[in-house]
Structure 1
């Protein structure tokens, strides 16, 4: 236990720093009295005696705060301002406070027996080690004595290069979970758990846990490919990886787990390119996720090691290349370095006999019973092979609409959505992840009010879809009616079928004519309501259920590069894909994401590195289209005709934290703008170069590309149509004129190039923050299909270590405050701003950054919004701002739990005062948005 006199100087809320007394230390030197040292020392004593369990964090924090305040009062009661006090007297007062609180054991541990107890514990540990013996049951049922020396060597090897690892502490954690005649498999798992249990004390333990897991993985894999019962060390794998890789490929092909064509590659050449040292770059969450869900396996045996995994994916993507070994190595280097990561379906299925590599599928459901049930079949087949689905249901007639064939009335769209929901549950992407679908409905559909309530927990369960996502597909005219507080008319699509395919001014004119016909009695089924009332219900349901999401039809179509061949009727499951659909075409998109922080060099982006990554990544994504397995013909037809891909980013928040830029700042908005401009420029350039090599996509002629209209140019078209309702920066810094001319002359290989997906899993693999998301919490437990994982912000820990603030008390405070640093007073204000978490950032900053990105994107971005204290006015302001900034789509609205709010009820957001000044657009008297 640390002595009070060497506790760190802090500014903790235990009590105010109200006195300036001098403290005499044991060496005779004077130091400033600091009550926060008392708080830290008491907290450490409590932690040492009562343990470090998360559920005790609140108890320890409150007790330490109360006792340190009592000690300060006792010390200063009889002192004048010029008096000094000896450290022993302070310790006496601490002891008395602990004793008065009936914390006798803590008091003894703190003062009376500190040194004696330390000596006793040392003696006890020595005696225990000499008598402590257990046996481990081997696979052949024989018993082998536990070898602590061997275990220490393993942990030491795995800890090489990690700075703050205590091998002794890990061994003690492991020994706490051992028992006599423990099976070997359980013993190996206990080794990993020993390091895993310490992740909350230092992020280095996450890498250590990953390396220990890797040791188990090597044993498992080599026992299958080489019948080798003992693991090889990481050093041995440097020379053994090539031999293993060739055996792995041949074994997997023989078991029909990999495409036979992979065995025809020059395996010697590929094997020599493997970099086994990159196995050590994983965090525990990343490697465990790969192990559980991605690695090739048979029955219960995983025999695909990480570098073999990356090379297998690279081989699959290079399978149709002329110089395929060279391209496979190029793709492998990109994946294994974490500079770029393909999407989950690509990682799952590349190189396998059925390579369904695409991420997203968009469909339109026609107003025909046969087509409706055909769409359920298509959903099932697409979901089976790990595709996410977006269904456009706007064409299906409404409740009460006439059915001429039976002279009856329709039950509307809602019952069919219930079937779509249950299909997603039944077909769960091959058992690898949950089936997922999002239903879209346009705002003029007369079933829209029932659609809004699909995710409610009350009401008729036959009209509820608890497992399916929903989204509003909102035309600009509706938003204008809301602002102008005008009426809005709802129709059944069987009477106004043409509205579905119209956008912009054409939609406005047709819709107004439909309203006139309704008033004249020419349209039977219709309903007129206040637009603002429907808008409020949309926002109310969004807050209550998280659905339907808010997405905007007109910007998706007005800026659509391929608008000459179709209409964008919906987005996808995650609201980042905006492609047209029809009865003949199911839109498909192929995704991958750039690891943005991996391309930072000092305080700026490495442009050479970034361009090289994007050039290779675009080639990989384009290769998916030809190599992909299509479970339905409409998807193949669409993908080969238009060849869309979606290059995105991940680690945006990590980049900001590396650059010391708070998310809630104009600098962050500028970085979002400039970084996406570069990515857009290089991606379009790469697709143009691919067109020169391979030819333009078949429907290029007539596209916006062919007319020299790039994404930044289409924003001007939207501005002309919106007028005062679009407020977005349109500045640019690169030579777009030259690229525009190049595109017109050469063509484009891909109809679409850019889309920012959520990257929930692949960012875990790479060990970076998700997509464009702010940090959820600086320390939290993440749950997914692989289990529960402690996640800790490595940048924060590094900064706290540099300031000498990372200790047991800081760890305990982070647990108590749910990963927030805003209430920890000894954390400097600059770090509080930099490490503000998602609910501590005004979501308007997220929209401002997204608005700057959107001008460079030919598709959309998955944009989650966070609101700690939601209200109707705040929601209105937020989503009106999203529309005014030209966003195409938004994703989840996430709100904070009541218990968290109570715990932080005195918290003043460090960043909210500097948030962009935006009011509700509904307020006609406010000029803040002009």
Structure 2
């Protein structure tokens, strides 16, 4: 089979997205104008849409959404209906989220005379996990799901333990949906009531601390569960009065979605705008505006796997525009990741991003009409989209762009990413290598050997040169949380950010990460303690031959992967 060139991929994508302009009265000159502008976003490495857009746009199966949420009602036939839709989503590369909270608890009465009682929410996870594995066999990427369960569900302990054995439910992330009242009960040392979703009956009372301890222990041991703070999610939800509360998210937690809602993703490469110790603000703002239009066009260019998904995608027109290359920008500016200067920069970046993207959404509403559910928001001005911004992991497109992923710090001076090849892809910090060569006069090979065999603190660099290199495990967990929380202040949807813990971190660190995340206003959090799984997605390498991962990653444009759907 012939593989597309990079130029052919870009042509296919931008021609399909530019053609959407005709639907809103654009003439051929307008179509050419926006097709050219969309292409320049990628040619100049300023912005990349997700792997779904790059792989599917302009093809016979143009499903462009990266993520979906599907309902799981307490009904046997409807659960299997959602299973079929999930398979259709996975087949086109989308990740799916499910809230299990409506399912009756294990042992609860059911109508079948042959059964002793309901099997409970966790049992259904295994069915959906098996579907994902079967659907994705022979595909270009691994499937991904997220399941959430209310902290007040009677089966909450079984859910928290669902991934206690490493390797179980490998296609799922799981998160506990926690409300503010639970956190207040936890602080006060009080109990909460576990309530049957079948009839509202109180099953039992449990100390909030008992649930919290089990949650922290499992997260420390395996990386799951994460947490979703549902009250924080819905305080920022403009459609809560009309459609009810949002209860779950996509697999990596950045898109808060209703059942049958979908969203596309794309991210601006912040590193592309670093200029001589500053930021090229005008070009960055122009990129935010053009990327917003591109993603709005992608809604109309997409063919969704179910008419109910199509209807809600159009009714809400939710976008997922984010950023990547943040750590690279910090290094270019000489700003440590764990510093007040970093938080100040986030405020400036976030404020500009919010202003420009919402100005663009309002301009699109004037040009094309607002999203249909706008009339239920109470907003004074029409907008094209119910939400615009998010922070996704950018696992694929950051490799294509050759930049750091999402808002994460760089992982290590030398590291391996478990993707594509059997032994993964090896990377090194090219900026650190250049600084070493310049400071020592050594060759690149000699400097790289130093990077592989000495910790950062022992490298022959001046303190000021070394200070800007702050790798994932050099940063205290609290600063991972502070960076995520500061970005969340400016983001419409949510923020996907992994809090990295060293292998020797105590369980109490996991509990503190989750508590601080709630206190600082995060909508959700996940953490990962190094070495707590059989093989880490990212591993630092000190004795491994390395090469430029950026050159290798160009193959991802044709190999494909779901953006924002990799299991944590």
Task: Determine if the TM-score, normalized by the shorter chain, exceeds 0.5.
Answer: yes
Task: Give every structure 1 segment of 4 or more consecutive aligned residues whose post-TM-superposition deviation is greater than 3 Å.
Answer: 404-408, 805-810, 896-901
* 1-structure distance, mates of 2:286, 2:262: 26
Contact 2:185 2:208 in 1 (8 A): yes
Report the counterpart of residue 668 of structure 1 in structure 2: 342
* Secondary structure at the counterpart of residue 338 of structure 1: coil
* 2-structure distance, mates of 1:805, 1:442: 58
* 1-structure distance, mates of 2:218, 2:68: 26
* 1-structure distance, mates of 2:256, 2:532: 33
* 2-structure distance, mates of 1:430, 1:477: 45
Report the counterpart of residue 488 of structure 1 in structure 2: 192
Contact 1:385 1:429 in 2 (8 A): no
- Alignment RMSD: 2.3
1:815 and 2:452 equivalent?
yes
Contact 1:867 1:896 in 2 (8 A): no
1:451 and 2:159 equivalent?
yes
Q: How does 1:459-474 map to 2 (within 5 A)?
A: 464-474=168-178
Task: Note the C-alpha offset of 1:816.
Answer: 2.3
Report the counterpart of residue 146 of structure 1 in structure 2: none
* 1-structure distance, mates of 2:262, 2:529: 28
Gaps of 5+ in 2: 543-568
Deviations 1:706-762 (A, max 9, x none): 43xxxxxxxxxxxxxxxxxxxxxxxxxxxxxxxxxxxx24x1000010111000110
Deviations 1:863-907 (A, max 9, x none): 100111321322222221111110001134242579999x99xxx
* 1-structure distance, mates of 2:128, 2:319: 26
* Secondary structure at the counterpart of residue 648 of structure 1: strand
Q: How does 1:555-566 map to 2 (within 5 A)?
A: 555-566=232-243
Deviations 1:633-691 (A, max 9, x none): 12101101110001100000000000011111111111112111111111111111111
Evaluate the alpha carbon distance shift between residue 597 and residue 630 of structure 1 in structure 2; reply closer, same or farther with a 3 A threshold.
same
Report the counterpart of residue 366 of structure 1 in structure 2: 73
Q: How does 1:524-603 map to 2 (within 5 A)?
A: 526-566=203-243, 567-581=245-259, 586-603=260-277
Evaluate the alpha carbon distance shift between residue 528 and residue 789 of structure 1 in structure 2; reply closer, same or farther with a 3 A threshold.
same
1:767 and 2:474 equivalent?
no
* 2-structure distance, mates of 1:763, 1:466: 24
Contact 2:13 2:54 in 1 (8 A): yes
Contact 1:383 1:429 in 2 (8 A): no
Deviations 1:570-621 (A, max 9, x none): 011110011223xxxx011111100111122333322211121111111110
1:828 and 2:445 equivalent?
no
1:785 and 2:489 equivalent?
no
* 2-structure distance, mates of 1:872, 1:320: 51
* 2-structure distance, mates of 1:833, 1:600: 18
Pick the aligned partner of 2:499 from 862, 865, 870: 865
Deviations 1:86-141 (A, max 9, x none): xxxxxxxxxxxxxxxxxxxxxxxxxxxxxxxxxxxxxxxxxxxxxxxxxxxxxxxx
Contact 1:384 1:430 in 2 (8 A): no
Evaluate the alpha carbon distance shift between residue 318 and residue 823 of structure 1 in structure 2; reply closer, same or farther with a 3 A threshold.
same
* 2-structure distance, mates of 1:360, 1:677: 26
* 1-structure distance, mates of 2:195, 2:82: 23
Evaluate the alpha carbon distance shift between residue 836 and residue 329 of structure 1 in structure 2; reply closer, same or farther with a 3 A threshold.
same
* 2-structure distance, mates of 1:796, 1:376: 48
Deviations 1:493-536 (A, max 9, x none): 1122xxxxxxxxxxxxxxxxxxxxxxxxxx3x612211011101
Report the counterpart of residue 306 of structure 1 in structure 2: 6
Pick the aligned partner of 2:353 from 673, 679, 685: 679
Q: How does 1:71-82 map to 2 (within 5 A)?
A: none
* 1-structure distance, mates of 2:208, 2:467: 39
Evaluate the alpha carbon distance shift between residue 428 and residue 451 of structure 1 in structure 2; reply closer, same or farther with a 3 A threshold.
same
* Secondary structure at the counterpart of residue 870 of structure 1: coil
* Secondary structure at the counterpart of residue 857 of structure 1: coil
Contact 1:387 1:429 in 2 (8 A): no
* 1-structure distance, mates of 2:429, 2:176: 35
Contact 1:386 1:430 in 2 (8 A): no
* 2-structure distance, mates of 1:390, 1:675: 29
Report the counterpart of residue 475 of structure 1 in structure 2: 179
Contact 1:588 1:635 in 2 (8 A): yes
Report the counterpart of residue 614 of structure 1 in structure 2: 288
Evaluate the alpha carbon distance shift between residue 651 and residue 474 of structure 1 in structure 2; reply closer, same or farther with a 3 A threshold.
same
Report the counterpart of residue 561 of structure 2 in structure 1: none
Pick the aligned partner of 2:307 from 604, 608, 633: 633
Report the counterpart of residue 410 of structure 1 in structure 2: 118
* Secondary structure at the counterpart of residue 891 of structure 1: strand
Report the counterpart of residue 550 of structure 2 in structure 1: none
1:345 and 2:52 equivalent?
yes
Contact 2:222 2:528 in 1 (8 A): no
Task: Note the C-alpha offset of 1:790.
Answer: 2.5
Task: Note the C-alpha offset of 1:782.
Answer: 2.5
Task: Note the C-alpha offset of 1:802.
Answer: 2.5
1:433 and 2:70 equivalent?
no
Contact 2:481 2:517 in 1 (8 A): yes
Task: Note the C-alpha offset of 1:405.
Answer: 5.3
Contact 1:418 1:465 in 2 (8 A): yes
Contact 2:179 2:229 in 1 (8 A): yes
* 2-structure distance, mates of 1:335, 1:467: 31
Task: Note the C-alpha offset of 1:472.
Answer: 1.0
Contact 2:436 2:447 in 1 (8 A): no
Task: Note the C-alpha offset of 1:456.
Answer: 2.1
Task: Note the C-alpha offset of 1:627.
Answer: 1.3
Q: Higher mean Cα deviation, 599-608 or 413-422?
A: 599-608
Task: Note the C-alpha offset of 1:430.
Answer: 6.8
Considering only CA atoms, is the larger Rg found in Structure 1 or Structure 2? Answer: 1
Contact 2:132 2:144 in 1 (8 A): yes
Evaluate the alpha carbon distance shift between residue 394 and residue 605 of structure 1 in structure 2; reply closer, same or farther with a 3 A threshold.
same
* 2-structure distance, mates of 1:778, 1:312: 37
Deviations 1:178-207 (A, max 9, x none): xxxxxxxxxxxxxxxxxxxxxxxxxxxxxx
Pick the aligned partner of 2:484 from 837, 840, 850: 850
Q: How does 1:253-402 map to 2 (within 5 A)?
A: 299=1, 301-302=2-3, 304-321=4-21, 322=26, 323-402=30-109
* 2-structure distance, mates of 1:884, 1:896: 28
- Bigger RCO (CA 8 Å, 6+ sep): 2
* 2-structure distance, mates of 1:482, 1:805: 57
Contact 2:186 2:208 in 1 (8 A): yes
* 2-structure distance, mates of 1:430, 1:815: 36
* Secondary structure at the counterpart of residue 524 of structure 2: coil
Q: How does 1:201-220 map to 2 (within 5 A)?
A: none
* 1-structure distance, mates of 2:41, 2:276: 21
* 2-structure distance, mates of 1:542, 1:339: 36
* 1-structure distance, mates of 2:340, 2:441: 29
* 2-structure distance, mates of 1:811, 1:616: 39
* Secondary structure at the counterpart of residue 143 of structure 2: coil
Report the counterpart of residue 502 of structure 1 in structure 2: none
